Amino acid sequence: MKRHKILLATLLLGGVLALSPRPASAQQPYYLYDRGDGIPTSLLGTYVRKGELLAYSFYEYTRDSTNEYKPSEMGFKGPRAGEDFFGKLEQHEFLLFFAYGFTDWLAVEFESAVYTTATLKKAKSDTSTMPKKLREDGLGDTEMQIRLRWLKEGDYWPEGVFFFETVFPLQSDKKLIGTQDWELSPGLVFTKGFGPFGTLAFRFAFTYSAKEGDFEFGEYAIEYIKRLSPNWLVVLAFEGEQDEQSIIGEVQYSLSKNIALKVNCGFGVTKKAPDFAPEIGLLFRF
């Protein structure tokens, strides 16, 4: 199944490459055709310009048939409560995202899962006191980022952006939703446009967790962005963090000058990654 997902992503990429975009306008270099001169945000294929406010309202569903958990860490007891098990997790999230470009080199963003429901079905081999179904709802992950463009793209070098993410511990009493401890993540994004071929971006971050008390290598990703027309843009990405890797495809369609529909879906390619994670939302520019 996972081979089929990788093959599908490869075929989609080939189809995208077969389409040629219109030439770059006289107002911008050819390497900015796919994205313009905005600062990249944490959203796939989404950029914020100086003086621009982005507002994105979206829904995300996640299904994970091999969600790893340890009953003892969730407050349950039993002879095997200290062992790791794989349960089935389903999440529904309603999220809001905002970003503002203060200058052509500084932007900030805020994102929150304003309402989340999560249901975990325990593994059949789990004999702990954990119920067969554990459900939680309420406020989910809430975070802010500062983004600094320290290197502008040129003909022969990429754009460089530094970001610093802070995730707030607003759900210290929850086990399935939200964040229980402070998390800090500094990282870098490098982006290079290649004209008719499209645009490539590479990003990576380190993560500090107050619970663990140290930094470790965090999320990394390779993204391919291509504008098919003034109204259509597609993104293909490979994302990973530790032993979780996923392939994500996104389509964006401009409903008007300031409103865009974003639809994407992620597919896990490793055991510990979520199986299936579709997302749909509307992006507004002011």
202: Cβ contacts below 8 Å, ≥ 6 apart: 189, 190, 191, 220, 221, 222, 223
- Full pLDDT tens readout for the chain, 286 residues: 444 444 444 444 444 444 444 444 457 899 999 999 999 999 999 999 999 999 999 999 999 999 999 999 888 998 888 899 999 999 999 999 999 999 999 999 999 999 999 999 999 999 999 999 999 999 999 999 999 999 999 999 999 999 999 999 998 889 999 998 999 999 999 999 998 899 999 999 999 988 777 889 999 999 999 999 999 999 999 999 988 999 999 999 999 999 999 999 999 999 999 999 999 999 999 9
Token pair for residue 134? 């554990």
222: Cβ contacts below 8 Å, ≥ 6 apart: 200, 201, 202, 237, 238
* Listed residue (99, 134, 91) closest to 115, CA to CA: 91
| Count of CB atoms situated within 10 Å of the CB of 129 | 11
The answer to whether the beta carbons of residues 192 and 200 sit under 8 Å apart is yes
Residue 12 is classified by DSSP as H
The answer to whether the beta carbons of residues 21 and 30 sit under 8 Å apart is no
Torsion of CA 242, 248, 253, 257, to 10 degrees: 10
- Per DSSP (E only), the strands in 19-76 are 39-40, 47-48, 53-69
| Count of CB atoms situated within 10 Å of the CB of 230 | 9
Residue 91 is classified by DSSP as E
> What is the CATH architecture of 2-285?
Beta Barrel (2.40)
Report pLDDT for 134.
95
What does 5-47 look like in DSSP terms, one character per residue? HHHHHHHHHHHHHTSPPPPPPTTS-GGGTTTTTPEE-SSTT-E
Token pair for residue 23? 């030439």
Amino acid symbol at 87: G
How far is the C-alpha of 151 from the C-alpha of 154, rounded, in Å? 9
How far is the C-alpha of 86 from the C-alpha of 277, rounded, in Å? 18
Q: Kindly list the domain boundaries of the chain, sorted by start residue.
A: 2-285
How far is the C-alpha of 63 from the C-alpha of 57, rounded, in Å? 21
